[in-house]
Amino acid sequence: MESNKIAIAALLLILLIVAINVAMVAIARSWTKSGDSRWMSALRDTLSKPMDSSANKSMDELRKQVEELEKKKNGE
């Protein structure tokens, strides 16, 4: 008798967790599908573009210098 009550309580707890998760998914989908989801587009833009740090800029300059030197070397 007591084990049946524990099993029913555990089942209710699992159902409650599943219901809450379904509600959260529905809320998140409605936020992202609405036209006012600026945070989603900002996150996508941030993840898609490379980081423009000073270290990255200096590495780009170094790459260009190496390419120029290789062109001069091959041209001679």
Instruction: For residue 21, tell me if it sits in a domain.
Output: yes
Q: How many domains does the chain have?
A: 1
For the beta carbon of residue 37, count every other beta carbon within 10 angstroms.
13
Instruction: For residue 30, tell me if it sits in a domain.
Output: yes
Instruction: For residue 13, tell me if it sits in a domain.
Output: yes
- Provide the residue range defining the domain that includes 66: 2-36+52-75
Model-wide pTM > 0.85: no
Instruction: For residue 71, tell me if it sits in a domain.
Output: yes
pLDDT band at 64 (very low <50, low <70, confident <90, very high): very high
Instruction: For residue 67, tell me if it sits in a domain.
Output: yes
What gap in Å lies between CA 39 and CA 45, rounded to an integer? 10
| Residue of 27, 29, 31, 8 lying closest to 19 (CA atoms) | 27
Structure confidence by residue, pLDDT tens digits, 30-56: 777 766 567 667 777 777 666 666 777
Instruction: For residue 63, tell me if it sits in a domain.
Output: yes
